Structure 1
Amino acid sequence: MDGSTDFTPHGKHLIAGEWIAGEATFNSQPAHGDAHAFSVGTPDLVDRAVKAAEEAFWTYGYASREERAKFLDTIADEIEARGEQITAIGTSETGLPEARLNGERGRTTGQLRMFAKHIRDGAYLDRRHDEALPDREPAPRPDLRTMQRPIGPVAVFGASNFPLAFSTAGGDTASALAAGCPVVVKGHGAHPGTGEIVAEAIHAAIQACGMPAGTFSLVQGGKRDVGQALVQHPLIKAVGFTGSLGGGRALYDLCAQRDEPIPFFGELGSVNPMFLLPEAVKARGAEIGKGWAGSLTMGAGQFCTNPGIAVVEKGAEGDAFVAAAKDALSAGGEQTMLTEGIAQAYRDGRQRFEGRNAVKPVLSTESDGRTATPNLYETDASAYLQDHALGEEVFGPLGLVVRVSGADEMAELAQGFEGQLTATLHMEDGDTDAAKRLMPIIERKAGRLLVNGFPTGVEVCDAMVHGGPYPASTNFGHTSVGTLAIRRFLRPVCYQNMPEALLPSDLT
């Protein structure tokens, strides 16, 4: 690439190495800059892409770890070679600032290289060997070897809020390709140009590394029938999804209703509660309030780990925390949302809070168009536990303070939360006993537990867990971030009394 920021999308799908146009088109809706036309996906295109992925699996699924690692590294290189163009089209389509897109691109290439290193190491194969015991009584034991093997073609749905790190070449795609699984991506309509240029990078890597053309395909746009055709295609063996609870649950049900049910790895929604313990509020309540406001409004609140609920005891010290959060939020201005639809959903969520007698507006603001302004509300534990709607995620810069009368009510409230991606304790040493009481509860509720921090931002590393009990995700035993994400697309295979000539090379 020449480093130019000029990039005009051609609007085609990438199907098994070919850029294919369709008869119907849709226009992108950029936050700024020119709109572009893109071909609309169809069930027929899905069928072609999935069949090509199945054909590719017979080669790609049996490629060496080094070949796959080199492929992942090359994808990262090709993305970086298009860096300025990716940032330009990404900021135009999403309204996200350049610094955010540059950082997300680094995270995306970092994930790819992390998985390349991970599969080179080979520990993920979980190889086990029980040698034969022919003389064992009362019965001999056969020679048994086990390792993880790829499952086959994987469907990935791009996410609205992360056009790079959770979309075309994001974590689901990177971990599936690392496992040895070809991928068919359904691009998100919020950033089709960004998806296209990243698909070009993957296509270039396929050509450079001599991988089968069907190793990766991108189907743009399309209505529900396209997503339905993808998850119900009999050759698809698993689905990775990041999105809304309603959309994700519908796809999850379709996966379960197949003649051959398949796993649906969906991240669906979370309010990520923070529990502010008394000594911490006394020592630095205003500081925590200011920090919470910054976390709530980061990226216009469009993070899946946005801490939407703060739990704090009643009283003057809790009041000071709320006042500090209000002051900090009041200083924030309008922010551009990812799409007009997301902005409207944010306004609808705000209206849910406005219309409830048990909820007190602390900071109530109006917004219109594609913008959002911060809002803050307050209620008590009794009202929260009686009204399920108060625990539903509002995607945007809206916070809810839930006041409790003491440690007993805080523990009762914690029990009432649904599954979460994260749960946070703000504490001082004097809060240790109270924290110990909460720990068994929040450990059952969330996939990641924090102390004295804010959950926005998910480190890409071996130990990270980005998942949790339903509805945070549909499979609590897995994560969509970190090297453990590869396990979603592998299955154990045992080889009994197998001649060495027939064993996979990684077992010999």
Structure 2
Amino acid sequence: MIDQIGPNYIGFQTSQLGNSFSTYNPKELKDNQYRLYTATEDEINNAAELAEKAFYAYAELSGFRRAAFLEAIATEMEAIKEDIIKVYCSESGLPEGRANGELGRTCFQLRSYANHVRKEEHLNLKIDTADEERQPMPKPDLRKLSIPIGPIAVFGSSNFPLAYSTAGGDTASALAAGCTVVLKAHPMHAATSSLVALAILKAAKLTEMPEGVFSHLNSNTHQEGQLLVSHPAIKGVGFTGSLKGGRALFDLASKRKTPIPVFAEMGSMNPVIILPKAVENKVKWTTSIAASMALAAGQFCTNPGLLILFKDENSDAFISDLTKSLAETVDSCMLHPSIFENFQKNKAKLLNQKGVQLLSGTSTANTLENHINGEKVLAKVSAKTFIKNPELHEEVFGVFSLIIELEDTEDLFNLICSLEGQLTGSILGEEFEFKAFEREIKMLAHKVGRIIFNGVPTGVEVCESMLHGGPYPSTTDPRYTAVGVDSIQRWLRPLSYQNCPESLLPEALYNENNPMKMRRVNSKFNNESIV
């Protein structure tokens, strides 16, 4: 399979009309052997148009057919696991264990979405039957379900070459919904993306999906993504990355003649509130917080960037232990020298702010080779200084956490009020403390997508109750999740049929019902047929 890496895949056809480029091995500090070809404007147009053509056929397929496709993707990825892991490690610098774990997560996610759409639970079926005797006017027959919105442009992420990229959550959920996908590979791991694309396309052929259900485009500039989002055939966008990148796509999509939704997950500082009892129990918490900070060189969207505690007789000892625990964590390679360079720039900007005290790490830039071992930075600032300075509210992508010292409860409440939208907010302490800080916790709920009690933010479970999202700027739409089967809802819209002959209705809205399908009929949730 590795010898097939390189071209763009437009449906089942290959094309390589653009410039060639290589990916980079961040551990060996050299280009990889893989040669890839950027997508030209014509190739982008062809992919988008083919996706639109395929959409009308793919959208009509049953949940069973789409489920078989998703499961086949997982099977085909597992069949070339060795090649995927080899290329993944050479492009990311991440260890083999992480690669295997991410591949397993990706395949599990595909299969969980398959199970969900097989039962057509995503359709949100609702029926209100007619009542011709109702006074003063007869009641019409109304039946509603959700339908796919159209071809989706998905952008591979830099920090998750599998789980949030080619066959990751955005692609899997869009395909599950009945949307076709045009994937723009991330240039840092384009060869890994190419291998996964081959698995997807093989699965599409085996399950007899329409050509154009999936296309894969290479790029190494912003232009390719801009052209793709601007194409009139594209009806939605999935993105995981920086605030700058996500906002640029959001603005571009909004300025189209026909605006389209952009579901962008753009990172977060993920505040961790460490209440006095947790500060006292420093042995338990300093090690786990340090491990969360240092995990994968801090390159997680749920990395704990803010550590909030009260300044008291125990806080200095807690901070001292945390500093030691962080120094003892395993060094990790950053994904690319350019990411390390951005880390250095953003670190320096924050450390140069008035009132910020450096506790560990350096305040000056290191050489690019240092990205192999990364850098671990811990700094401290007062709550009042943090609240007044918006520059301190910006994420530093990497192992960087800012300790915020509180003088009193009002400091905590005011600090929470000052926060922008976050993916997570964590609270460490005892249950009686949670009750005492109920006002602050309720305010935190308006700032985050997920509140975590006595746990660190890294780690996102793939399940129905997960909410991986949050208020802006953590995402562009706080109503949706990027993880779990509810993420499918991003790519659907409601459609209602009024007094429609049953022969023209979608089968899921027939009077006779498959017992596997749960529907809301006349305000009652059941799986019964309508007599």
TM-score (norm 2): 0.93
Aligned-partner SS, 1:136: coil
Distance 1:505 1:493 in 2: 14
Matched, 1:347 2:347: no
Q: Does 1:356 align with 2:358?
A: no
The 1-side partners of 2:465 and 2:388 are apart by 36
Question: Among the aligned pairs, what percent are the same residue?
Answer: 42
Give the drift of 1:11. 0.9
Aligned position for 1:482: 484
In 2, Cα distance between the equivalents of 1:80 and 1:32? 25
Secondary structure of the 1:191 match is: helix
The answer as to 2:56 corresponding to 1:58 is: yes
Partner of 2:25: helix, strand, or coil? coil
- Provide the C-alpha distance between the structure 2 equivalents of 1:410 and 1:206, rounded to a whole number of angstroms: 53
Name the SS of the counterpart of 1:320 in structure 2: helix
Deviation at 1:335, TM superposition (A): 2.3
2:9 — aligned with what? Answer: 14
1:77 to partner: Cα distance:
0.3
- State whether residues 18 and 39 of structure 2, in contact with CA within 8 Å, keep that contact through their aligned partners in structure 1: no
- The answer for the alignment partner of 1:368 in structure 2 is 367
Gaps of 5+ in 1: 1-5
Q: What is the CA deviation profile of residues 190-229 of structure 1, one whole-angstrom value per residue up to 9, with x for unaligned ones?
A: 1011000000000100110110110000100142221111
- Residue type of the alignment partner of 2:352: G
Task: Say which SS state the counterpart of residue 251 (structure 1) adopts.
Answer: helix
Query: Tell me, what secondary structure is at the counterpart of 1:439?
Result: helix
CA distance in 2, matches of 1:233, 1:321: 54
Residue of structure 1 aligned with 2:160, choices 156, 159, 162: 162
Is 1:280–1:431's contact at 8 Å kept on the other side of the alignment?
Answer: no
Which has the higher mean CA deviation after the structures are superposed, 365-374 or 208-217?
365-374
1:26 pairs, out of 21, 30, 38, with 21
Counterpart of 2:63, as a letter, is R
Say whether the 8 Å CA contact 1:305–1:457 is kept in structure 2: yes
Helix, strand or coil at the partner of 2:354: coil
1:313 to 2:310 alignment: yes
Q: Give the whole-Å Cα distance in 2 for the aligned partners of 1:464 and 1:30.
A: 34
Letter in 2 for 1:256: S
Give the partner amino acid of 1:376.
L
Greater mean alpha carbon deviation, residues 118-127 or residues 236-245: 118-127
| Aligned residue runs from structure 1 range 290-305, under 5 A | 290-305=287-302
CA distance in 1, matches of 2:269, 2:282: 21
Q: Deviations over 1:38-60 (max 9, x none)?
A: 10122221111010011101111
SS of 2:165's equivalent? Answer: coil
Residue pair 1:286, 1:325 contacting (<8 A) in 2 also: no
Question: In the alignment, is the contact (CA less than 8 A) between 1:264 and 1:474 conserved in 2?
Answer: yes
Q: Quick one: structure 1 residues 473 and 20, their matched pair in 2 at CA, closer, same or farther if it must change by over 3 Å? A: same
2: distance between equivalents of 1:157 and 1:440?
34
Residue 16 of structure 1 deviates from its aligned partner by: 1.3
User: What secondary structure, in the 3-state scheme, does the structure 2 residue paired with 1:474 have?
Assistant: coil
d(CA) in 2 for partners of 1:390 and 1:151?
Answer: 39
Q: Secondary structure at the match of 1:214?
A: coil
1:22 shift after superposition: 2.0
TM-score by length of 1: 0.97
In 2, distance between residues paired with 1:292 and 1:279?
15
Amino acid of the residue matched to residue 166 of structure 2?
A: T
- Equivalent position of 1:116 in the other structure: 114
CA distance in structure 2 between the aligned counterparts of 1:457 and 1:35, rounded to whole angstroms: 33
- For 1:148-187, what aligned pairs fall within 5 Å after superposition? 148-187=146-185
Q: Residues 96-107 of structure 1: matches in 2 within 5 Å? A: 96-107=94-105
> Is the CA contact (8 Å cut-off) linking 2:16 and 2:39 kept in structure 1?
no
Is 1:332–1:373's contact at 8 Å kept on the other side of the alignment? no
TM-aligned CA deviation for residue 326 of structure 1: 0.3
Native 8 Å contact 1:306 1:456 kept in 2? yes
Give the match for residue 138 of structure 1: 136
TM-superposed CA distance for 1:9, in Å, is: 5.0
Which amino acid is 1:291 matched to?
S
Backbone CA RMSD of aligned residues: 1.3
Find the aligned partners of 1:142 and 1:90 in 2 and give their Cα distance: 56
* Alpha-carbon distance between aligned partners in 1 of 2:436 and 2:394, rounded to the nearest angstrom: 27
Counterpart in the other structure of 1:242: 240
Deviates more, 1:443-452 or 1:7-16: 7-16
Residue type matched to 2:8 in 1?
A: H
Distance between the aligned counterparts of 2:284 and 2:366, measured in 1? 27
Q: Are the equivalent residues in 2 in contact too, given 1:168–1:195 (CA < 8 A)?
A: yes
Structure 1 residue 411, shift from structure 2 partner: 1.0
Structure 2 contact 27–333 (Cα < 8 Å) conserved: no
Distance 1:239 1:205 in 2: 23
Shift of the alpha carbon at 1:321? Answer: 1.6
Residue 7 of structure 1 and its aligned partner are, at CA, apart by 2.6
Question: Among residues 424, 429, 436, which one is paired with 2:426 in the alignment?
Answer: 424
2:482 alignment partner AA: S
Q: Which amino acid in the other structure matches residue 324 of structure 2?
A: D
Q: Which moved more, 1:25-34 or 1:250-259?
A: 25-34
Return the letter of the residue paired with 2:223.
D
Residue 353 of structure 1, CA deviation? 2.8
Range moving further from structure 2, 22-31 or 341-350: 22-31
Corresponding residue of 1:392: 394
Q: What per-residue deviation string (whole Å, max 9, x for no partner) do you get for residues 125-177 of structure 1?
A: 11111111111111111110000111110110000000000000000000000
Which residue in 2 is equivalent to 1:472? 474
Aligned partners of 1:430, 1:23: CA distance in 2, in Å? Answer: 62
What CA distance in whole angstroms lies between the structure 2 residues aligned with 1:70 and 1:194? 24
Q: Point out 4+ residue stretches in structure 1 off by more than 3 angstroms.
A: 32-35
Mapped partners of 2:220, 2:502: distance in 1: 48
Report the secondary structure of 1:362's partner residue: strand
User: 1:3 matched to which residue of 2?
Assistant: none
Q: Deviations over 1:338-385 (max 9, x none)?
A: 111111011112212332230001102364323311010000111111
Deviations 1:289-342 (A, max 9, x none): 221110000000000000111000012311122111100112236421111111
> SS of the counterpart of 1:176?
helix
Tell me the secondary structure at the aligned position of residue 213 of structure 1: coil
Q: 1:428 to 1:105 in 2, by over 3 A?
A: same
